Amino acid sequence: MNKAIQDLAKIELHCHLDGSTSVELIRQLAKEQDIDINEEKLFVDSSCDSLDAYLQCFEELLKVLQTKDSLQRAVVDVAQQAARDNIKYIEIRFAPLFHMDQGLTLTEILEAVEAGVQEAIQTLDIQVNLLICAMPQHDEATNQALFDFIQQRDNKAVCGLDFAGPEVGYSTTAIQRAATYGLEQGFNMTLHAGEYCFLHADKYAYHIQTIL
């Protein structure tokens, strides 16, 4: 059965660049950049019921994804993993504003990630597109400026926008205007919503059932 599933052609529509970069590449990048990575912080166990704890894993690995080289290699790495699973189409989402800690500009970040997309398409049997993540903890003006930047570029690989990140303390109304703005610019959009509820399904089971 596993072999049959492996052989099936598949699509992947929810893949985070930082959260899907292989541990092997993270280790290699950390060594090359002389950055101390605490690998224990890269994982949570199966009993984790905190979205915030899960998201802290991203903070650790983002330390090594702050250069053009590392971003391009990360895209190829994720695409290679997908291709090994016989995925023929993948949408890789990432938050450009989280890759500026060492001085990269938004232009440099997009160029690096798009170069990774082209390398993956040319060397692997896979089609790759990008989703640009905005964050609820960023203010409306910041997210709208990000959307404006993407709109002004010739981003052949960008197929839409996303809102990701923590949910506790950030209501959906807090991102409503920015999300509407993105839609008005003609972008496709996906939204992370309800993940906290599903991590606490015993507490929110009635609420979820009511919504559905």
Q: Which residues are catalytic?
A: 195
Which residues does residue 160 pair with via DSSP β-bridges, in sequence order?
Answer: 131
State whether the Cα torsion 61-63-69-72 is positive or negative.
positive
Would you state the structure tokens that stand for residue 168, as one six-digit string? 């506790």
State whether the Cα torsion 34-35-39-40 is positive or negative.
positive
Between the two ends of the chain, the Cα-to-Cα distance in Å is 32
Residue 38 contacts residue 72 (beta carbons within 8 Å): no
* Radius of gyration of the chain measured on its C-alpha atoms: 18
Nearest Cα to Cα of residue 64 among 107, 112, 101: 101
Region of residue 86 (phi > 0: left; psi between -120 and 50: alpha; otherwise: beta)? left
